[in-house]
Amino acid sequence: MKSYTFTEGPSDLTQSGPIKETTLEDLAADGRTVLIRHYMWDPSDAEPCPHCCSALDAWDAMAPNLADRVTFVIVAKAEIERFRTLGTKRNWKNLRLLSSFGSDFNREMNVESVAWTEVKQLPGLSVFKKDAEGVVRHFYTDLANYDADTIGYDFYGGYRNFFDFAPEGRGGF
């Protein structure tokens, strides 16, 4: 797995900075599974995906429960400042927002294509974990079903469903 670098700001979205770089290795440093939720927001889009916004409204409340067992982050291709401004407007308090702007992360996770006509970004969930040798491994990327009428969020309903995507599974939950 090559190293990817993201940008993020302080956990308090009302703070404008400092903006810092965070790597995939940083996200996996504590050895926990990393769940990256791909957010449909291309830099060329005037507005983010409304379905994704609705889902993140709910996941903001679930994020503390997820944080007990996994590292859960939301990655958008849009610039971090725009993403943080949106989070502030929507009153998100618990989501860790990162931007992959300027990198090939989304394309390499198969959630981005310049050839697509309707959208440039797709929703999905990528799962990473550091192995026994300390190497961050990509387990898989699950793409949500996307078409004009349905967005496949059902399997992300409750926070315990997210644990089903982790290599160690749900456990006692």
Q: Report if residue 57 sits inside a domain.
A: yes
Of these ranges, 22-36, 44-58, 157-171, the one predicted with the greatest mean pLDDT is: 22-36
Q: Under 8 Å CB-to-CB from 14, ≥6 apart: which residues?
A: 88
Q: Report if residue 169 sits inside a domain.
A: no
> 101, 137, 153: which is closest to 27 by C-alpha?
137
Q: What pLDDT, in 10s, does the model give residues 63-75?
A: 998 999 999 999 9
Which range is least confidently modeled, 12-21, 47-56, 61-70, 129-138?
A: 47-56
pLDDT of 131 reads 93
Q: Report if residue 107 sits inside a domain.
A: yes
CATH number (domain holding residue 67): 3.40.30.10
Number of domains in the chain: 1
12 or 172, which is more confident: 12
Domain range for 68:
5-11+20-163
**pLDDT at 144 > cutoff 60:** yes
